[in-house]
Amino acid sequence: MESTDKNDAIKLFVGNLALDTSQEDLTQLFGPYGQVVTCSVLRQFAFIHLQGDGAADLAIRELNGREFRGRNLVVEESRGRPMHSTKVFVGNLSAMCSAEDLQELFQTFGKVLECDKVKARLSSSAGYAFVHMERKEDAVQAIEALHGTTFKGRPLSVELSNVQPTLPYTSPSHKR
């Protein structure tokens, strides 16, 4: 009998989701391709563990670029990080903010594996960074606590990292 352990499943990144997309929506969308072992949705992004022979490849081929709820989906295999590592995008950073400053800020929420600050372009005073956190739960807590807060004189934009840059999310977050 086939195991349903999520370690046997392939982790997919699903991006460019409508803001009101639910776990149920994605479970129904991906269900025909294989067993959805886990589905985690945050803002306009999701991670799905999909199990079944060839299920992930078929889902990527058929769903990547497909219109869903008015938006073209980004569906690809999640790569390059351990299962429990989450990449967080931090935008609108002050030029005075260092990678060490961000590491200190984020480690109050959990273990930071890596922090990559990208320098601001000459035409802009705002920079951005990627913070890699060991636990998704810690990353989600950091995003919820830090998004919109002022750090080194600038309001931070903090969200789960996306493959393609998108317009910043400016609507107030809906908490349940």
Same domain, 99 and 154: yes
Q: Give the structural domain span for 113.
A: 86-160
pLDDT for residue 30 is more than 50: yes
- Give the three-state DSSP class for 29: helix
Asked if residue 4 is part of any domain, the answer here is no
CATH number at residue 28: 3.30.70.330
Residue 173 lies in a domain: no
| pLDDT in the model for residue 60 | 94
Q: Give the count of beta carbons closer than 10 Å to the beta carbon of residue 143.
A: 23
Q: What is the pLDDT of residue 167?
A: 33
151 shares a domain with 101: yes
| Mean pLDDT (the chain, rounded) | 80
Assign 101 a pLDDT band (cuts: 50, 70, 90): very high
111-156 pLDDT tens trace = 888 787 766 555 556 778 888 888 888 999 999 999 999 999 999 9
Question: Are residue 64 and residue 104 in the same domain, yes or no?
Answer: no
In a domain, 168, yes or no: no
pLDDT in tens, 46-84: 889 999 889 999 999 999 999 999 988 889 887 655 455
The answer to whether the CB of 145 falls within 8 A of the CB of 109 is yes
Query: At 124, phi and psi to the nearest 5?
Result: -135, 145
Q: How many of the other CB atoms lie within 10 Å of CB of 166?
A: 14
Residue 121 lies in a domain: yes
| Total domains in the fold of the chain | 2
d(CA 120, CA 123): 8
Q: Does residue 21 lie within any of the structural domains?
A: yes
Q: Examine the domain organization and report whether 21 and 42 are in the same domain.
A: yes
